[in-house]
A and B are shown apart, each in its own frame.
Chain A
Amino acid sequence: MTGTKRGSTGQIGARRKRVEDPRLLTGQGTFVDDIQLPGMLHLDFVRSTHAQARIAAIDTSEAAKCPGVVAVYTAEEIHGFVPLLPGPAELPGLRAPEHHVLANGHVRYVGEAVAAVVAEERYTARDAREAIRVDYEPLPAVTDMERALEADAPLVHEEFGSNLAFELPLGNETAAALEEADVVIQQRMLNQRVIPNTMETRGIVADYRRSDGQITVWLSTQAPHLIRSLLAELLDLPEHRLRVIAPDVGGGFGAKANLYGEEMLAVALAKQLGRPVKWIEERQEHMLATSHGRAQLAHVTLGAARDGTIRALELRILADMGAYPHIMTPLAPLQTAAVMTGCYRIPCARAEIQGVFTNTTAPDPYRGFGRAEAAYYLERAIDLLARRLDLDPIEVRRRNFIQPEEFPYSSPTGYVLESGDYEVCLRRALEKVDIGALRQQQGRLRSEGRYIGIGFASYVYRAGFPSLPKLPRTGFLKGGWESAWLRVDPMGKVTVLTGTSPHGQGLETSLAQIAADELDIDLEDVVVRHGDTASIPHGNGTMGSRSLAVGGSAVLLAAREVRHKALRLAAHHLGVEVDAVRLEAGRAFLPGHPERAISFADLADLSYSFLDLPDGMTPRLEASATFEPHNWNAPFGTHVCVVEVDVQTGEPKLLRYVAVDDCGRAVNPLIVEGQIHGGVAQGLGQALMETVVYDSEGQPLTVSFLEYATPTASDMPTLEVELTETPSPLNPLGARGVGESGTTGAPPALVNAVVDALAPFGVEHLDMPLLPERVWRVLHEAGAVR
């Protein structure tokens, strides 16, 4: 495909500050909880306090008597007007449990919704929730995947006879290659369960207008159109009378790309009760019952020749399905398998996947979904290999990189990488940290009893999914395409509608830059709107690092069409051939004849005037476009970091972090760097502090920010970010994804650095999160420190 031309206003590539920020930073954003409607009711939930129990009885009589309570519901009362939630994507052999909106006689994780109460006021709802008595008969529970697969483990779903949800092998044969390898590395690696913790929790307002059946839903979501289709289908509502609005959304990270029971219930109740219903999730509910991330365990086997050439890679993956997998839950390990060979030429690769039920809330997409896990396993394994062979981990990476001339490259697990240049990122990162000097410093400090470590991670993942053959129940993902609609108003100002649904990505700015660049007008003259199914053409939302590369390409195509039409109109107006006219800096003109010109604004006005149009031209400068990528694009990069471990306390401290990332054409490098910053911080969270812990009864012990640590600004050094631009051939922008680069690169880079720091003590691997106590304990047990 052709590259973009760069307009004279130079919008593509410009470091523009985000136009959405003044609104968000001055408190003028509108989030779901800001929506107040007359007569609005408030919904609240009673949640299971047991990880597994039979519900003997629920007594709602006291709650129903509370003044201001409108209704109280259990599974029984919603039966008939609230359907089951959609089950997981139907992989071959997958066992899908029924997923009730309110527990149907049996609870399977702490936090599962058991009863609901609707009241005139939020405070009343909360009081009434407490007046509901649930009588549980506790049963043994299991939250650990390995334990869940043991023969005598408690069963999450008795009817299935085991906790195995599905089994799936992917890839080619590895046995012979491993047999012939000079060295074989084996390591069990945990990709621990983490909580997405969006700054804004989930929330919904649903409003039903009896007179015409119009339903309006304000939802904190990443994909309003997909949710509308799901709601319409499940609740049997007319799709055209259902309007889903994603107002300002305070983060999603994948956890808001799904329809949850509370949300479906709120919509059903608004219709049932004929009054608006609001539900705002509490932080504790978010930690208990919103989907979690990662929750994978892999036995990694890597075989290589003595010189470090990798021959084969095998992953035996356990993927946590929770108690009731969501639509996309089982897809995570498939994503892992798809990109398991990373940036490297690995001829034999195989993943043996087992999905496992546990008494937990189901994991679902979380920034890096499945691919971050793959990068972690591989980048850790390469360090183990280098250590075993006494080779430089940088050299081992280099030796195995897929070379630029080898693209397109088909991996053994069936993913085709179209282009890349891994060496460039690695080289720049090494130059930036000054690896030679750094290693000298490391040696010097070691002799003084200070332990710094240098960690590397070269990653590649796949972003911007194409349309894929549909699995049953994944139908809600309509495809990989994205839509855009662009119109020029009579005064020459431009409105862009996008089917993506930004919730922190800065797309109101980046997409405006694309349109402004193509039309060669000022950025201030473009506004981007999104997230309202009543006014926005159908789109697939924001997830999987797709919005700029795919959604932005649709904007570019629409802008291109408008540009052509504007040129034709200008030519007609100036009385010349189209080819003679240039559109530049807000006006159309004849080169060499500056007086023969028309401003973009006048051209816009003219376009509304039917009698001034050339024959056959329709009024108005506007166009809609759809862009479908034929493959996933592949963002890549190398992260290098330096940590110092305080061996007395076990605390790792991040000293430097260098990220060299390639997202192809960077439309707004400032925003790209922001995505890297946020992603690295989140990746640091997983590497160093975040983890969901359950006790032996299945009680989660990390249910508030008092116990569950997330990174803050004070945990971060100044990040040294640099971008390389290897255009992707997959879209007219040449863009690749970037949203998940930080969470993909950071965990392996950080863990590799800490393990490197501890090399003098013989430490080869540590599972995340590298909490001080964990680090101290291995040193202590090795007799290295007191």
Chain B
Amino acid sequence: MIPSRFAYHAPRTVEDAIALLQSHGDEAKLLAGGHSLLPLMKLRLARVAHLIDIGRIEGLASIRQSESSIHIGAMTTHSELAESELLAQRQPLLPRAAIQIGDVQVRNSGTLGGSLAHADPAADLVPVLLALEAELRICGPAGERSLAAGDFFTSMFTTALAPDEILLEVRVPLAPANSRCSYEKVPHRASHLAVVGVAVQIEFTADGRCDQARLALTGLAPVPYRALAAEASLRGKTLSGESIEAAAQQVTDGVEPLSDLYAPADYRLHLARVTTARALASLAPL
């Protein structure tokens, strides 16, 4: 548990952090909550000569509302997401997923930005942002840019972030009136990461039919994904045993499932369907 030698930097501004990233190139890494990066360094699976701690930069950890969305700073911890009053009222899917991350220590240190940038195929917040069509605000040497969540995750542990860019903020829309959401997770017994996690938000019509269903899954594929076919199958339907089952069957369409000791591919696909059905059932009117 001894990492290889590294220099520690603690810049106070985003510009300084970017300058450090530029001058140290691929020898540098940003440090947020450290709960993904530090274990890798301690096991020497990652070698980082320059560790740039962005925890001292002010203004990166806040949750605030604008007209139609909520802005969440990259350094917001999982605990802050889980406990936010604002989110509980205006976008409860995030806290519902955040509270299921790891354990208290992990949630107190781990950050939204770190989780997204790390892009673990089993991360809990990723499917939430996909389902909500979040916008990511990114800053690099040339200034800021915005990216849709759907374009951010490119492959396992890889994102569209350039090596000298920092994720600043995530923007999620307010939950529509008459919508309900759920995050169902089957945690791995050892790592507590998601074997399968299903994020759902459904906007209902006045007569209780699904107007817009949003469904995204983590843990199943190299990159968490949105289950568009399943979403479409729900449109106009009430949530019944039948419509739920039909949607659940479709969430694994075309997926090349991950496979490991704990959950081989066939079991994982099965879990995805069962978990989806349970997530949808939890939204059905009683």
Chain A contacts of B44 at CB under 8 A? 130
Q: Is B105 positioned at the interface, with any CB of A under 8 Å from its CB?
A: no
Residues 707 to 758 of chain A near chain B (Cβ within 8 Å):
707-710, 712
B-chain residues with CB within 8 Å of residue A786 when the two chains form the complex: 270
Q: Are A777 and B267 in contact (CB under 8 A)?
A: yes
Please list 27 pairs of residues, one from A and one from B, whose beta carbons are closer than 8 Å in the complex, sorted by A's number. Answer: A127-B5, A130-B4, A130-B44, A282-B1, A283-B1, A648-B274, A649-B271, A649-B274, A689-B190, A693-B261, A706-B190, A706-B191, A707-B190, A707-B191, A707-B261, A707-B262, A709-B188, A709-B189, A709-B190, A712-B103, A771-B189, A773-B263, A773-B264, A773-B267, A776-B267, A777-B267, A780-B270
With A771-B262, A776-B270 already in contact, the answer to whether A708 and B5 are too (CB < 8 A) is no
| In the bound complex, CA of A712 to CA of B188 (Å) | 13
A705 touches which of B190, B261, B263, B271 (Cβ 8 Å): B190
Cα distance A122–B4 in the bound complex, in angstroms: 11
B138 touches A (CB below 8 Å): no
B175 to chain A, nearest CB (A): 29
Contact-residue size bin, chain B (C-beta under 8 Å from the other chain): 20 to 34
Is A284 an interface residue, CB under 8 A from the partner?
yes
Q: How far is A566 from B4 in the complex, measured between Cα atoms in Å?
A: 63
Which residues of chain A (119-178) have a CB below 8 Å from chain B?
122-123, 126-127, 130
- Kindly name the residue among B4, B43, B190 whose own CB sees the greatest number of chain A CB atoms within 10 A: B190
Q: Which residues of B contact A709 (CB under 8 A)?
A: 188-190
Contacts of B263 in A (CB 8 A): 773
Given A771-B262, A776-B267, answer yes or no on A123-B2 (Cβ-Cβ < 8 Å). yes
Cβ of A712: which chain B residues have Cβ within 8 Å of it? 103
How distant is B257 from chain A, measured CB to nearest CB, in Å? Answer: 13
Docked complex Cα distance between A771 and B271 (Å): 14
- Is A701 an interface position by the 8 A CB rule? yes
New A-B pairs, 6, CB < 8 Å, besides A705-B190, A707-B262, A773-B267: A126-B2, A649-B186, A710-B190, A771-B189, A780-B270, A786-B270
CB closest chain-B residue, reference A285: B1
A776-B103 Cα distance, complex, nearest whole Å: 27
A705 to chain B, nearest CB (A): 6
Determine whether the beta carbon of B261 is less than 8 Å from that of A701. Answer: yes
Query: What's the least CB distance linking A608 to chain B, in Å?
Result: 52
Within the complex, the shortest CB–CB distance from A45 to chain B, in Å, comes to 13
Query: Hey, what's the 0/1 contact readout for B239-268 against A, CB within 8 Å counting as 1?
Result: 000000000000000000000011110010
B267 adjacent to A284 (CB under 8 Å)? no
> Which A residues lie within 8 Å of B4 (CB)?
127, 130
For A695, give the chain B residue with the smallest CB separation: B261
Q: From residue 143 to 196 of chain B, which have CB atoms closer than 8 A to chain A?
A: 186, 188-191
CA–CA, A706 and B263, complex, Å: 14
User: Which residues in window 283-301 of A have CB below 8 A to B?
Assistant: 283-284
3 shortest interchain CB distances as A-B pairs: A709-B190, A709-B189, A126-B2
Q: Would you give the shortest CB distance from B43 to chain A, in whole angstroms? A: 7
Would you give the shortest CB distance from A704 to chain B, in whole angstroms? 8
- Chain B residues with a Cβ under 8 A of chain A: 1-2, 4-5, 43-44, 103, 186, 188-191, 261-264, 267, 270-271, 274
* Contact residues in B for A284 (Cβ distance below 8 Å): 43
CB neighbours (8 Å) of B186 from chain A are 649
Quick check: A122 and B2 within 8 Å, CB to CB? Answer: yes
CA distance A773 to B262 in the complex (A): 7
Q: Give chain B residues whose Cβ lies under 8 Å from the Cβ of A708.
A: 190
Tell me the nearest residue of chain B to A42, going by C-beta.
Answer: B2
What separation, in Å, do the CA atoms of A122 and B43 have in the docked complex?
15
Q: Which residues of B contact A710 (CB under 8 A)?
A: 190
CA distance A547 to B191 in the complex (A): 36
Residues of A contacting B274 in the complex (Cβ-Cβ under 8 angstroms): 648-649
Within 8 Å CB of A649, what residues of B?
A: 186, 271, 274
Give complex CA distance A546, B4 in Å.
44
Measured between beta carbons, the chain A residues less than 8 angstroms from B43 are 284, 704
- Are A689 and B191 in contact, CB atoms less than 8 angstroms apart? no
- Which B residues are in CB contact (< 8 Å) with A777? 267
Quote the shortest CB–CB distance from A190 to chain B (angstroms): 17
Chain B residues lying within 8 Å of A689, measured Cβ to Cβ, are 189-190
CA–CA, A712 and B270, complex, Å: 26
Q: Which residues of A contact B261 (CB under 8 A)?
A: 693, 701-702, 707
Q: A773–B261 Cα gap in the complex (Å)?
A: 10
Cα–Cα, bound, A360→B189 (Å): 24
Proximity bits, A282-323, B CB within 8 Å = 1, else 0:
111000000000000000000000000000000000000000
Q: Which residues of A contact B271 (CB under 8 A)?
A: 649
CB distance from A786 to the nearest CB of B (A): 7
The docked-state distance in angstroms from the alpha carbon of A702 to that of B191 is 12
| Smallest beta-carbon distance A29→chain B, Å | 20
- In the bound assembly, the distance between CA atoms of A126 and B270 in angstroms comes to 44
Nearest-neighbour CB distance to chain B for A40, whole angstroms, equals 16
Shortest CB-to-CB span from A153 to chain B, Å, is: 24
Closest to B103 in A: A712
Set of chain A residues within 8 Å of B2, measured between Cβ atoms: 122-123, 126
Q: Provide the residues of chain B in CB contact with A130, threshold 8 Å.
A: 4, 44
Q: Which residue of B lies closest to A714 (CB)?
A: B103
Tell me the smallest distance from the CB of B269 to a CB of chain A, in Å: 10
Give, as a whole number of angstroms, the nearest-CB distance from B44 to chain A: 7
Q: How far is the CA of A103 from the CA of B263 in the complex (A)?
A: 36
Task: For the complex formed, measure the closest distance between the CB of B205 and the CB atoms of chain A, giving whole angstroms.
Answer: 30
User: Quick one: closest B residue to A201, CB to CB?
Assistant: B1
A649–B270 alpha-carbon span in the complex (Å): 8
Residues of chain A within 8 A of B270, CB atoms compared: 776, 780, 786
Smallest CB gap from B274: residue in A: A648
Residue of A127, A130, A773 most packed against chain B (CB within 10 A): A773
Task: Assess the B190–A123 pair: CB atoms within 8 A.
Answer: no
CA distance A701 to B44 in the complex (A): 18
Query: What residue in chain A is nearest B2 (Cβ atoms)?
Result: A126
**In this complex, what residue of B is CB-closest to A130?**
B44
Taking the closest CB of chain B, its distance from the CB of A123, in whole angstroms, is 6
CB-nearest residue of chain A to B191? A706
Distance (whole angstroms) from the CB of A389 to the closest CB of chain B = 35
In the bound complex, CA of A773 to CA of B265 (Å): 11
Whether A123 contacts B5 by the Cβ 8 Å rule is: yes
Q: Which of A745-786 contact B (CB under 8 A)?
A: 771, 773, 776-777, 780, 786
Q: Which residues of B contact A648 (CB under 8 A)?
A: 274
Q: Tell me the bound Cα distance from A771 to B195 in angstroms.
A: 13
**A299, chain B: closest CB distance, angstroms:** 26
CA–CA, A706 to B195, complex, Å? 12
A710 to B189, CA, bound (A): 8
Which residue of chain B is the closest to A706 with respect to CB atoms?
B191
Q: Cα distance A283–B1 when bound, in Å? A: 8
- With both beta carbons as reference points, the residue of chain B lying nearest to A127 in the complex is identified as B4
Inter-chain contacts of B188 with A (CB < 8 A) = 709
Nearest B-chain residue to A703, judged by Cβ: B43
Q: Whose C-beta in chain B lies nearest to the C-beta of A691?
A: B261
In this complex, what residue of B is CB-closest to A713? B103
Q: Which residues of B contact A705 (CB under 8 A)?
A: 190-191
Please measure, in the bound complex, the distance between the C-alpha atom of A776 and the C-alpha atom of B267, giving whole angstroms.
Answer: 8
Chain B residues whose CB sits within 8 angstroms of the CB of A123 once the complex forms: 2, 5
Interface centre among B4, B263, B267 (most CB of A within 10 A): B267
| Complex interface bits, A247-282 against B, C-beta within 8 A gives 1, otherwise 0 | 000000000000000000000000000000000001
* A363–B138 CA distance with the chains assembled, in angstroms: 52
Expressed in whole angstroms, the Cα–Cα distance for A689 and B191 within the complex equals 12
In the docked arrangement, what's the CA distance between A705 and B190, Å?
6
The docked-state distance in angstroms from the alpha carbon of A648 to that of B103 is 26
With both chains docked as a complex, state the minimum distance between the C-beta of A197 and any C-beta of chain B, in angstroms.
12
Q: Which residues 30-61 of A sit at the B interface, judged by CB distance below 8 A?
A: none
A127 proximity list for chain B (CB < 8 A): 4-5
Determine how close the nearest CB of chain B comes to the CB of A592; give it in whole angstroms.
62
Query: CA of A702 to CA of B261 in the docked complex: distance in angstroms?
Result: 9
Residues of A2-43 contacting chain B, CB below 8 A? none
Name the distance in Å between A49's Cβ and chain B's nearest Cβ: 13
- Looking at the assembled complex, report how far the CB atom of A785 sits from the nearest CB atom of chain B, in whole angstroms: 9
Residue of A nearest to B271 (CB): A649
- Bound-complex Cα distance A282 to B39 (A): 13
